[in-house]
Amino acid sequence: MIGLFTEAQIKGNLVKNRIVLPPMVCFGWAGEDGLVSEKHRRHYAARAAGGAGIVVVEATCVSQDGRLSMDQLGLWNDAQIPGMKDLADDCLEAGALPLVQIHHAGWKTVFKSTADPKGPSVRPGKKDTGSALNLGEIAGITEAFTTAALRAKNAGFAGVELHGAHGYLLSQFASPLDNHRTDTYGGTLENRLRLHVEIGRSIRAACGADFILSIRIGCNEPDLDGGIAVAKYLEANGFDLLHVSASGHEESQPDVPEAFPFNWIVWGGASIHRAVGIPVIVVNDIRTPERAQWLVENEWADFVAIGKDFLTDARWGEKVRLGEPLISCLHCKKGCSWFSSGDRCPRRTPASE
């Protein structure tokens, strides 16, 4: 029987268990230079040593003008490689497979340049008042994702996860609700995923056949049938691994069968897992080892990601393996304090830095 501690393979890389640390921005820890800080280093090293089979380093921006927050990590210049190399080295040393999520916020960027105080024109369609990206700008975005991925490879990462969920740039392109383009980047599924496929091919050409090409997608793009179609299309176009979360449209949620004891995002991931042949990471409110084990054991997921509970307990995976008590997330009513600064998390312990 497959369980949480059954080894797996991704493109010839051994993964020691089925537990994933999903990407989670550590707000307040990076400066505007997007460099890895000592805090980041301790944070990821602790969770790699704490039993994550795969560590996906937080949303790391491919270009300055695509940042979702001014304290986001970056891979837009070579000076950012050494800090990233420290993170990858620490993961590898602890026996965790290191991936990094590469990201562009699209029209959700907070970046405002002095030359253009309204911010860059990163909009794919007419949804808002901005102008759509032109073809030259789209080519520039492919280039930015590719050089960021190459920097990640040079830093020692086994692969990258494109951030294609949560309503950021790639999700804006994929969504028929957001993408109102009338050219070859809008309309049909193939057109709405053209940028994803171009970026994937370009990364493959730059980083080689062995480099893991993963993508986080929304299961509801715009509904579960749409999410499954996106997943299948990306699988057919060279992606190696899928990490299934939500689109930018939380109002459209798949119905969950009564017998399935998880929320709609997990149901979406599990349904996509059953529809594709490549490995799938399922996430959202899984929380406990018993629930995580159930998903893997019943073949609803290849991998399970444990987010906030891995923030509160840096040794989540090791403690589960050893049967030790966990420090659980309190699911604070006012919202997760990690969104402003993890330093304010009531469950944060010195060991979980």
Ligand X SMILES: Cc1cc2nc3c(=O)[nH]c(=O)nc-3n(C[C@H](O)[C@H](O)[C@H](O)COP(=O)(O)O)c2cc1C
The pattern of x and - marking residues 186 through 215 that bind ligand X according to CB under 6 A reads ------------------------------
DSSP code string of 60-125: EESSGGG-SSTT--B-SSGGGHHHHHHHHHHHHHTT-EEEEEEE--GGG-----SS-TT----BSS
Identify the bridge partners of residue 162 per DSSP, sorted by sequence position: 102, 215
Which residue in the set 308, 312, 314, 352 belongs to the binding site for ligand X (CB under 6 A)? 308
Segment lying near ligand X (by CB under 6 A), choices 145-153, 289-297, 314-322, 336-344: 336-344
Which residue in the set 8, 10, 20, 22 belongs to the binding site for ligand X (CB under 6 A)? 22
Answer yes or no whether residue 148 interacts with ligand X by CB under 6 A: no
Helix (H) or strand (E) holding 19: strand 19-21
Residue nearest to ligand X (CB): 307
Which residue in the set 89, 223, 285, 318 belongs to the binding site for ligand X (CB under 6 A)? 285
Task: Give the C-alpha separation, 226 to 232, whole Å.
Answer: 10
Segment lying near ligand X (by CB under 6 A), choices 17-25, 123-131, 184-192, 270-278: 17-25
Active site residue 185: no
Find the binding residues for ligand X in span 257-276 (CB under 6 A). none
- Return the number of the residue (207 or 282) whose C-beta is nearest ligand X: 282
Alpha carbon distances (Å) from 111 to 60, 114, 231: 14, 10, 30
Task: Give the C-alpha separation, 182 to 180, whole Å.
Answer: 6
Which residue in the set 130, 336, 341, 353 belongs to the binding site for ligand X (CB under 6 A)? 336
Contact call for residues 165 and 221 (beta carbons, < 8 A): no
The pattern of x and - marking residues 98 through 127 that bind ligand X according to CB under 6 A reads ---x--------------------------
- The single-letter code of the amino acid at 308 is K
Task: Give the C-alpha separation, 85 to 129, whole Å.
Answer: 40
DSSP 351: G
Strands 19-21 and 303-305, sheet pairing: parallel
3-state secondary structure of 342: helix
* Beta carbon of residue 169, minimum distance to ligand X (angstroms, whole number): 13
Which residue in the set 64, 284, 293, 352 belongs to the binding site for ligand X (CB under 6 A)? 284
Answer yes or no whether residue 147 interacts with ligand X by CB under 6 A: no
Which residue in the set 74, 120, 269, 307 belongs to the binding site for ligand X (CB under 6 A)? 307
Which residue in the set 112, 339, 340, 349 belongs to the binding site for ligand X (CB under 6 A)? 339
Find the binding residues for ligand X in span 39-68 (CB under 6 A). 58-59
Closest CA to 69 of 12, 15, 31: 31
* Interface residue list for ligand X (CB under 6 A): 22-25, 58-59, 101, 163, 165-166, 216, 245, 283-286, 306-308, 336, 338-339
Instruction: Give the residue numbers marked as catalytic.
Output: 168
